[in-house]
Amino acid sequence: MKRKMTAVAAVICAASMLMTGCGAKELSNEYVTVSAYKGVEIEKIETSAEVTDEEVEAKIESTLSDFAESVEVTDRAAQEGDIANIDYVGTKDGEAFDGGSYEGYDLELGSGSFIEGFEEGIVGHNIGENFDLNLTFPENYKSEELAGQDVVFNVTLNSLSVKEIPELTDDFVKENLSEEAETVEEYKAELKKEMQETNDESYRSSLRKAAWNAVLENTTVNEYPEEEVQKYVDMIRSEYETMAGYYNLEFDEFLETYMGMDEETFETQVKEVAQNQVKSDLVRDLLADNVKGIDKSDKAYENVYAEYAKYYSYDDVETFLTDMEDAGNKESLDDLVLLRLVQDWIADNCKQVKKTEN
């Protein structure tokens, strides 16, 4: 299912321990003054780690587990790693306690899901057996009534099953894991490349964020265009009003219940969020209009469109853009793309410096 993309107003928090860089003249208009952008200094960010073969194998193991099938076991007693389907009734001083009974529960033995001794007590029993487990709840158990108390669980073992993980073969790769790879080795190489690209993008994203925060830190707002601020205020409020509707609550009740604030506090915080977003928009536009070297070509836009389309699980860029247009989100998308292009330039031209020890 494609994830719906919406414009989101978010506070861009200023990174700590950043220093102002030199190398570019001040830029200013009636709304903002940017004193540092090219060569802005940020705390050094560790480069992306190289993906190891061990990490690839772990990823494959996890992926194969998703294809595991449940196979019933009938010819032996329960053992660790089995999925035991059980009925149980928990009693304290001969009386059943709340939350201590269940029918048809699937429990992986050895998972540590239940209190100590419960899963271990099932191991060795056969299907159809009914037995008692005399146990003690831990002293720090979440229920004060049960913490440290001796209890008895009467358990019936209904059935046993195991997860059967498929073997990684060339045929399995072609049928289930890859549209390109033909062999296990090709798939491993493909997976390693994808994992490395993810690591590299994570590094790049951190670099963009830190450099952009540094630029914003070196920006003074001369005047907020109130119409733009109000646009974000209205959008954010609308989103929260929709959330209140999901809970069938009046807006003030929703704020108090789920956010722990009154409407006046909410409005104050929303305005601050909106102003921060407008500040980012203003700096983006000022730099995009005045800095030579920022790539705003059709090709640059197309490359970022393709990234977003892939992220939102679209098979092709054209369908992605059509959906954005139909949903009325194309303008917001283009704003995001422009921000990305400006941030890329800032990241490419920033200076990373080692953290200064106090």
Position 3 pLDDT exceeds 80? no
Position 19 pLDDT exceeds 50? no
pLDDT digits (tens, 9 = 90+) for 297-333: 999 999 999 999 998 999 899 999 999 999 999 999 9
Q: Which residues, 6+ apart, have CB-to-CB distance to 262 below 8 Å?
A: 252, 255, 256
- The better pLDDT of the pair 7, 242 is held by 242
Interatomic CA distance for residues 321 and 329, integer angstroms: 9
Predicted local confidence at residue 116, as pLDDT: 94
Position 357 pLDDT exceeds 80? no
| CATH (residue range 69-164) | 3.10.50.40
* Mean pLDDT of the region 65-88: 95
Position 11 pLDDT exceeds 70? no
Q: Are the folds of 27-53+182-353 and 69-164 the same?
A: no
Position 254 pLDDT exceeds 50? yes
Predicted local confidence at residue 25, as pLDDT: 82
Fold of 27-53+182-353: Trigger factor, domain 2 (1.10.3120)
Domain boundaries in the chain? Answer: 27-53+182-353, 69-164
Position 260 pLDDT exceeds 80? yes
Specify the amino acid at residue 256: E
pLDDT digits (tens, 9 = 90+) for 185-206: 999 999 999 999 999 999 999 9
pLDDT band, residue 237 (cuts 50/70/90): very high
* Strand arrangement of the beta sheet that strand 32-34 belongs to: 27-28, 32-34, 219-221
Position 45 pLDDT exceeds 80? yes
Predicted local confidence at residue 48, as pLDDT: 85
